[in-house]
Structure 1
Amino acid sequence: MSGLHQDAVRSLQDWTAPDPEQDLLRRDYLDHLLERSDGMYRSCRPAHITASALVVDIERGRVLLTLHPKVGRWLQLGGHCEPEDATLAAAALREATEESGITVGLALFPATGPQAAGPQAAGPQPVKLDRHAVHCAGRDQPENSHLDVQYLVTAPADAVAEISEESLDLRWFGFDALPRLTDDSVRDLVARAQKLL
Structure 2
Amino acid sequence: MTLQENATLVLKAYEDQPELREQYLDHLAAHDDGMWKACEAGHLTASALVIDPTRGKVLLTLHKKLNMWLQMGGHCEPGDVSLEAAALREGAEESGIEGLTLLDGGPVRLDRHPIPGPCHWHLDVQYAALAPAGAVEAISDESLDLKWFAYEEVASVADDSVVRLLERTRARLK
Short-chain TM bin = over 0.9
Alignment counterpart, residue 97 of structure 2, candidates 95, 102, 109: 102
Q: Residue 12 of structure 2 corresponds to which residue in structure 1? A: 13
Q: Which whole-Å CA distance do the structure 2 matches of 1:155 and 1:169 have between them?
A: 18
Aligned residue pairs: how many? Answer: 173
* Cα distance, 1:179 vs structure 2: 6.1
Contact 2:35 2:76 in 1 (8 A): yes
Which letter does structure 2 place at the counterpart of 1:57?
D
Question: Aligned runs of 1:1-197 on 2, under 5 Å?
Answer: 3-17=2-16, 22-103=17-98, 105-111=99-105, 125-135=106-116, 141-142=117-118, 144-178=120-154, 180-197=156-173
Q: Which whole-Å CA distance do the structure 1 matches of 2:52 and 2:13 have between them?
A: 27
1:8 counterpart SS class: helix
Which letter does structure 1 place at the counterpart of 2:84?
A
Aligned-pair Cα RMSD in Å: 1.2
Contact 1:58 1:157 in 2 (8 A): no
State the TM-score, normalized to the length of structure 1: 0.85
> Which consecutive aligned stretches of 4+ in structure 1 deviate over 6 angstroms post-superposition?
none
User: Aligned residues: percent identity?
Assistant: 53
Q: Which whole-Å CA distance do the structure 2 matches of 1:142 and 1:92 have between them?
A: 23
Q: Which runs of 5+ in 1 are unaligned?
A: 112-124, 136-140
Q: Which whole-Å CA distance do the structure 1 matches of 2:41 and 2:77 have between them?
A: 18
Which letter does structure 2 place at the counterpart of 1:128?
R
* Cα distance, 1:157 vs structure 2: 2.7
